[in-house]
Amino acid sequence: MRVAIVHYHLKRGGVTRIIESTLRGLDRLDHAPECVVLAGEVPEDFHYRERARRVAGLHYSNAQAETPDAHTLLQRMRHAARTALGGEPDLWHIHNHSLGKNSAMPGVVAELADAGEPLLLQLHDFAEDGRPENYRLNQERTESAACLYPNAGHVHYAIINARDTAIFDAAGLSRSTGVPPVPPHTGSQLHLLPNPIEAQAAGTEFPAAPILDTLGAKRLFLYPVRAVRRKNFGEMLLWAALAEPGDVFATTLGPTNRNYLAAYQDWQHFARQHQLPVHFGIAETHAWPFEAIMQSAHAILSTSIAEGFGLAFLEPWLFGKPITGRDLPAITADFKAHGIQLTRERQAPVSAPTPAESARHTMPAEGLYPSLPIPADWIHQEHLRTALTAGLTTAYAAYRRPLPLDAVARALAAITPAPGQIDFGGLDESLQQSVIKRVRTDPSAASALPRLQTWSDSSHIEHNANKVIQNYSLAQYAENVNACYNSICAANNTAAPQYLDPAKVLDGFLQPEHFRLLRT
What pLDDT shows up at residue 224? 95
pLDDT for 438 = 97
Contacts of 63 (CB under 8 A, 6+ apart): 9, 40, 41
Q: Is the pLDDT of residue 181 over 80?
A: no
Percentage of residues in the chain with pLDDT exceeding 90? Answer: 81
* Least confident residue range of 115-119, 186-190, 439-443: 186-190
What was the pLDDT predicted at 259?
84
Average pLDDT for the chain: 91
Which residues, 6+ apart, have CB-to-CB distance to 78 below 8 Å?
A: 88
Average pLDDT over residues 358-385: 82
The predicted model gives 443-468 an average pLDDT of: 90
Domain edges within the chain: 2-196+473-511, 208-372+451-463
Least confident segment among 108-112, 262-266, 449-453: 449-453
CATH class of domain segment(s) 2-196+473-511:
alpha beta
- Split at pLDDT 50, 70, 90, the class of 186 is very low
Distance between CA 201 and CA 203 in Å, rounded?
6
Work out the pLDDT band at 457, boundaries 50, 70, 90: confident
Does pLDDT of 183 surpass 90? Answer: no
For residues 127-143, give the mean pLDDT: 91
Q: Does pLDDT of 267 surpass 60?
A: yes
More confident residue, 183 or 488: 488
Check for a shared fold between 2-196+473-511 and 208-372+451-463. yes
Helix or strand or coil: residue 457?
A: coil
Mean pLDDT of 305-326: 93
Winning range, highest mean pLDDT, from 17-31, 252-266, 351-365: 17-31
Q: How many CB atoms sit inside 10 A of residue 309's CB?
A: 18
pLDDT per residue over 16-33, tens digit each?
999 999 999 999 999 999
Q: What is the pLDDT of residues 377-407, one digit of tens each?
A: 999 999 999 999 999 999 999 999 999 999 9
Question: pLDDT by residue (tens digit) across 462-481?
Answer: 999 999 999 999 999 999 99
Q: So what's the pLDDT on residue 182?
A: 46
3-state secondary structure of 434: helix
- ω into residue 329 within 30 of 0, thus cis? no
What is the maximal distance between C-alpha atoms in the chain?
77
Reply yes or no on whether the pLDDT at 440 is more than 70.
Answer: yes
322 confidence band (pLDDT: 50, 70, 90):
very high
Instruction: Report whether pLDDT(234) > 60.
Output: yes
**Proportion of the chain in helix, strand, coil states, percent, rounded to 5:** 45, 15, 40
Neighbouring CB atoms inside 10 A of 271's CB total: 21
Mean pLDDT of 204-232: 90
With bands split at pLDDT 50, 70 and 90, how would you rate the model's confidence at 359? Answer: very low
- pLDDT band at residue 13 under the 50/70/90 scheme: confident
| Contact call for residues 184 and 156 (beta carbons, < 8 A) | yes
pLDDT above 80: residue 244 = yes
Query: Do residues 99 and 131 touch, judged by C-beta distance below 8 A?
Result: yes
CA torsion sign for 174, 124, 392, 513 is positive
Alpha-carbon distance 280 to 225, whole Å? Answer: 10
pLDDT tier for residue 454 given thresholds of 50, 70 and 90: confident
pLDDT digits (tens, 9 = 90+) for 146-172: 899 999 999 999 999 989 999 999 999
pLDDT of residue 55: 98
Is omega for the bond preceding 375 within 30 degrees of 0, making it cis?
no
State the burial class of residue 169 (Cβ atoms within 10 Å of its Cβ: 0-12, 13-18, 19+): middle
User: What is the distance between the alpha carbons of residues 192 and 437, in angstroms, rounded to a whole number?
Assistant: 43
Confidence class of residue 177 from pLDDT cuts 50, 70 and 90? Answer: low
User: Which pLDDT score is estimated for 34?
Assistant: 97
pLDDT above 90: residue 247: yes
Which pLDDT belongs to residue 257?
81
- Supply the CATH classification number for the domain 208-372+451-463: 3.40.50
